[in-house]
Structure 1
Amino acid sequence: MPSRRRFLAHSSALGLGALGGCVDALGSDRPTYTTPGTDGPPPPPEHHAFGSDGQWSSPGFDASNTRWDYRGSAPRDDARVRWRYPVQEGRAPTVSNGQVFVSAPGELVVLDAMEGEELWTAPTEPSWVGVPLVRNATAYVPVETDLRALDAVTGEELWSRSADERFTPPATVGGEELVVGNGEYVRALDAETGEERRSRRLYGTVNAPALGTTRSPTTTTQAGEVYVLERDGTGVWRRTLRASIEAPVTLGRDYAYVTEVDDTLRALDHGGETVWRAEGVADFRFGVAYTDAYVYAVDGSTLHALDSDSGEEHWAHHLGERAGVPAVVDDTVYVGGDRLHALDPEGTGERFSVDLGGRVGPDVSAGDGALYVPVTDDEGTDLVALETA
């Protein structure tokens, strides 16, 4: 890692600020940011490289937690507020079919994506509600030790499953089976009924699993374990890392990217061997955003752009305040902090930033041409939808 960094001095003006020359030229021969083919219709989720249905329908965008919506659209050069909605907690929502699914203590709130109007709510008493997965017109909502399936249009409960430990948000490829963490177990559930098809106990509390086109669950535990399982629940490999893990794993085309609590980011190959390791580049709570050329990670107030194959740091950008996890939509990297920042993916500069009156984050999601960002100030938190100005 370099010992010195050169940071751009940020504009002190409120509102939009066009900022340029914002990066450190750390690495040589920066790779070109590329996307898979976008001509024609996208492949169905069961054949998509990352298990994506083309919408931000899970906390990590797709089944592989890439946070990379390369076919999507969002404000690129400037932004204005489409609507604001008061919420109780600051996590970005999932978005599907023109609906925005907002988790809050004691309820799930569903909003119209264009108007921000409340469509329906599902009370959950004073319980923790996780960010839901939405597939095939069904919202799968973790509520403490319950996992509930709700009709995405009406909010009607379709089924509910209870356990002794808290459920993580589930993952799915094709929408037929849900893979979910539950205490020290990984469970595979029938998506239509909630019935358990199989389970496997691991060492340590399980974080949210990730799936690729093989549908083989890859998951981490808070005890510092990384597991890849066969679809029938048997083990493929297991690796013990030196530190605890809290963030979800991200699956790229070739490697699994794992963030440890000491802010170390690792790339593991298909056999579980460490291909590269970068220290002090990734916040242990949230994970990373993956693209074919780059892995984007935030540590403290700095956004790092690493080569996805080698781990070499190609550029870095100072955000001015402690930030969360980045997201990539089309050809723009978005990350919060004291403002919302929109950057060129190859590090040529900041396209715009916008002051929304509070701290932005910790995460960002997108859909229907808008970005959805939690904004927190002394009076509380709003979910803000931003569109092209």
Structure 2
Amino acid sequence: MVEHDRRRVLKRTGLATVGATLAAASTSSASAETGTDTTGASTTTTHSAVGADTTVTETAGWPSIGGTPGNNPVVEPAAEPEPPVYVAWEYEHAGPTAIVDDTVYLTTDGEVHALDAADGALEWATHNIGASGTPAVRGDTVLVGGERLTLIDAADGEICCQHDLGYDGALASPVVAGDYAFTVGDGTLFAFDIDPREVAWEFTPTADTDEHEPLYEQPVAVGGGAVVAVSESHAVAFELEDGTKRWRVDDPVGDDEYSRFMEPNPRQTSYPVATDEVVAIGSVDTGDASMWPLGYTTLYDVETGERRVTSERSTFDPGAITDERFYALDSHNVRGYDRDSGEESWDPSSITYRVPSIAVGDGIVYAGLTLDGAGYDPDEDDVPEHYDGVYAFDADTGEIEWSVGTDGIPHIALANETVYASSETLVALRSENDDWHEEEADTADDEGGDESDDTTDEAAGEEESEDTTSEESETDTDNDTGTDTDADTGTDTDADTGTDNETENNSTGSADGNGGTNETADKSTESEADSNDNDNNKDGTPGFTAGAGVLGAGATLEWLRRRAGGGSNASGGTDRRE
């Protein structure tokens, strides 16, 4: 559990299971070019009459994976917290999240939970419905992939219906654009019309077409009226309205026989990222067995499919696209490239071991990451504060603006002046000066308001009998002994068992956008005692959790042990996973 200031953190650990009734799935057939129904594996492209208006109005907040229909995690300044930042609340379950209005939707252990964004209180939870990946929210409906495409009432968690779409495996995280939810399963792209609850069109590559390879089961990207999906050798754009093919790219960038579009895997998700002008797609040119693949991120014109710019060799996992730069990830790091030339123009100051997710705000690049401990000299002063955590980097210099430690490598989402970081638990990071904090303070004042008012009235000279005054005094003495033996003992003991179980936002193991495998790190056993917890909380550095000292000491011990033990990875640092 993340260490934090107990006076300010509102932790919600309760889990209420909400019963839900499954309605019969309705997947009515649409007319198809090949004459098969909507679940037939032989279908090439099917069409149904849909509205001509394909304008996509984005939902405010972080309504799906990547925060936008294009999976592009670039947010408005209003979504960002201002430092100093603190842990506002923590929820004991973790998983990929979507945030709309004042609710956080979380997929965990096959279930979907809805939390109050103000304090993390559980509003509702489904039972295990086989859900995996990031939820997507459209109006009053929550959609989630996994064993089936499931539609849930956003208000009370009641399950509307589940659609298997003719596929027994895990459907990718849905991406919502306009009236449609797009997902990939069994190599087929499905366009699901949300209101009538039926498949509007679908595309399945078949042996008698040029696109004979199954599509990667990963989130698609929507931009400029097109839906972009990827297979090993092809990137294909379809018209949002009816699934008509707009363009196809069949030459992944690379310079050897292994060149291919990057496939999803537990470590690197590598789904496309799009704006209304360009779509970023990653490719690699190293063998499947390579521990650390090398590749490129390329921007293609959304309208024509023409290649615009390619990054310098290294990064293969699209991260974000801004007006000036595009960001991409490799096995260890995140880098920024000039949008016109493709030359590297930004690199974080920290030496990272892994960066699974980022978001870009106004002058800040937010990243969930873990450090490469072997890259630092523990005797130097430039060792970052946290081993695993959320880091905010200056978008011009790459210098660290602030960081908050977490229990594992976090995946992040950013909405409503809050960074949501999901590792082994879900934590909400907010500014100490924001409206959320003021509301919590007002609530605390209200809870103690009666006592304060009584004291004020008495001080103002309110007339009471001597007997009543004596009785009140005696009652106060009985109830306030001046000793707190429960929460204020003056001693706080923390123990780290030495096992780091990193569950990366997808408990079912689906590699559709948030990882999903458990990685065990060989960390040294450590036990730290804090002889005065309350004093440390009062004097702690703003913007960091109260357990930062414990985490920092553990990381230093790990680095020293690793440096003494030797061993290196492909990037020159010591591999902390054995």
Shorter chain as denominator, the TM-score bin is 0.7 to 0.9
| 2:163 maps to amino acid | R
In structure 2, the residue matched to 1:388 is: 431
Take 2:345 and 2:71, find their aligned partners in 1: how far apart are those partners?
22
Superposition pairs of residues 294-309 of structure 1, within 5 angstroms: 294-309=325-340
1:194 Cα offset (Å): 2.1
In structure 2, the residue matched to 1:293 is: 324
Q: Which has the higher contact order (CA 8 A, sep 6+)?
A: 1
Which one of the candidate residues 248, 272, 279 is aligned to 2:271? Answer: 248
1:106 Cα offset (Å): 2.3
Tell me how many residue pairs correspond in the alignment.
Answer: 329
Which one of the candidate residues 383, 387, 402 is aligned to 1:352? Answer: 402
Alpha-carbon distance change, 52 to 195 in structure 1, aligned in 2, over 3 angstroms: same
Residue 320, structure 1, aligned to residue 320, structure 2: no
Residue 104, structure 1, aligned to residue 127, structure 2: no
Alignment check: 8 A CA contact 2:72 2:274 kept: yes
Superposition pairs of residues 13-32 of structure 1, within 5 angstroms: none
Alignment check: 8 A CA contact 1:133 1:170 kept: yes
Percent identical pairs in the alignment equals 23
Alpha-carbon distance change, 349 to 277 in structure 1, aligned in 2, over 3 angstroms: same
In structure 2, the residue matched to 1:80 is: 86
In structure 1, the residue matched to 2:497 is: none
Alignment check: 8 A CA contact 1:259 1:283 kept: yes
Alignment check: 8 A CA contact 1:173 1:212 kept: no
Q: Which runs of 5+ in 1 are unaligned?
A: 1-13, 16-44, 376-380
Alpha-carbon distance change, 114 to 158 in structure 1, aligned in 2, over 3 angstroms: same
Alignment check: 8 A CA contact 1:80 1:386 kept: yes
In structure 2, the residue matched to 1:25 is: none
1:257 Cα offset (Å): 0.3
Residue 259, structure 1, aligned to residue 265, structure 2: no
1:365 Cα offset (Å): 0.3
1:267 Cα offset (Å): 1.4
In structure 1, the residue matched to 2:157 is: 155
| 2:430 maps to amino acid | E
1:128 Cα offset (Å): 4.7
Which one of the candidate residues 120, 133, 136 is aligned to 1:133? Answer: 136
Larger mean CA deviation between 300-309 and 116-125 belongs to: 300-309
1:100 Cα offset (Å): 0.7
1:243 Cα offset (Å): 1.4
SS at match of 1:60: helix
In structure 2, the residue matched to 1:186 is: 189
Alignment check: 8 A CA contact 1:113 1:368 kept: no
Superposition pairs of residues 30-109 of structure 1, within 5 angstroms: 47=55, 51-87=57-93, 89=94, 91-109=95-113
Take 1:85 and 1:46, find their aligned partners in 2: how far apart are those partners?
38
Which one of the candidate residues 399, 421, 440 is aligned to 1:373? Answer: 421
Which one of the candidate residues 186, 199, 203 is aligned to 1:196? Answer: 199
Take 1:355 and 1:124, find their aligned partners in 2: how far apart are those partners?
30
Alignment check: 8 A CA contact 1:102 1:108 kept: yes
Take 1:113 and 1:359, find their aligned partners in 2: how far apart are those partners?
22
SS at match of 1:69: coil
Take 2:234 and 2:116, find their aligned partners in 1: how far apart are those partners?
40
Q: Which runs of 5+ in 2 are unaligned?
A: 5-52, 206-212, 253-258, 265-269, 285-292, 370-387, 433-578
1:80 Cα offset (Å): 0.4
In structure 2, the residue matched to 1:177 is: 180
| 2:311 maps to amino acid | A
1:179 Cα offset (Å): 2.2
Alignment check: 8 A CA contact 1:46 1:213 kept: no
In structure 2, the residue matched to 1:205 is: 215
TM-score (norm 1): 0.78
Moved over 6 A (4+): none
Higher strand content, 1 or 2:
1
Take 1:305 and 1:179, find their aligned partners in 2: how far apart are those partners?
29
| 1:388 maps to amino acid | S
SS at match of 2:133: coil
1:253 Cα offset (Å): 4.1
Q: Show CA shifts across 1:61-107 (max 9, x none).
A: 111111111253222333100111122x5x44110121111111221
Take 1:46 and 1:75, find their aligned partners in 2: how far apart are those partners?
33
Alpha-carbon distance change, 124 to 148 in structure 1, aligned in 2, over 3 angstroms: same
| 1:295 maps to amino acid | F
Take 2:343 and 2:416, find their aligned partners in 1: how far apart are those partners?
34
In structure 1, the residue matched to 2:310 is: 277
| 2:408 maps to amino acid | R
Alpha-carbon distance change, 148 to 289 in structure 1, aligned in 2, over 3 angstroms: same
Q: Which has the larger radius of gyration?
A: 2
Superposition pairs of residues 109-128 of structure 1, within 5 angstroms: 109-125=113-129, 127-128=130-131
SS at match of 1:346: coil
Larger mean CA deviation between 191-200 and 112-121 belongs to: 191-200
1:329 Cα offset (Å): 3.1
Alpha-carbon distance change, 92 to 196 in structure 1, aligned in 2, over 3 angstroms: closer
Q: Show CA shifts across 1:153-204 (max 9, x none).
A: 1011122211214322222322x22222222211112202321121111332
Q: Show CA shifts across 1:205-230 (max 9, x none).
A: 3331221242x211112x23200112
Take 1:329 and 1:243, find their aligned partners in 2: how far apart are those partners?
31
Take 1:348 and 1:264, find their aligned partners in 2: how far apart are those partners?
21
Alignment check: 8 A CA contact 2:133 2:172 kept: yes
TM-score (norm 2): 0.53
Residue 229, structure 1, aligned to residue 238, structure 2: yes
Take 2:61 and 2:413, find their aligned partners in 1: how far apart are those partners?
10
Take 2:90 and 2:81, find their aligned partners in 1: how far apart are those partners?
16
Alpha-carbon distance change, 273 to 201 in structure 1, aligned in 2, over 3 angstroms: same
Take 1:280 and 1:153, find their aligned partners in 2: how far apart are those partners?
47
Take 1:280 and 1:86, find their aligned partners in 2: how far apart are those partners?
40
Alignment check: 8 A CA contact 2:134 2:174 kept: no
Take 1:143 and 1:178, find their aligned partners in 2: how far apart are those partners?
14
1:311 Cα offset (Å): 1.4
Take 1:274 and 1:322, find their aligned partners in 2: how far apart are those partners?
28
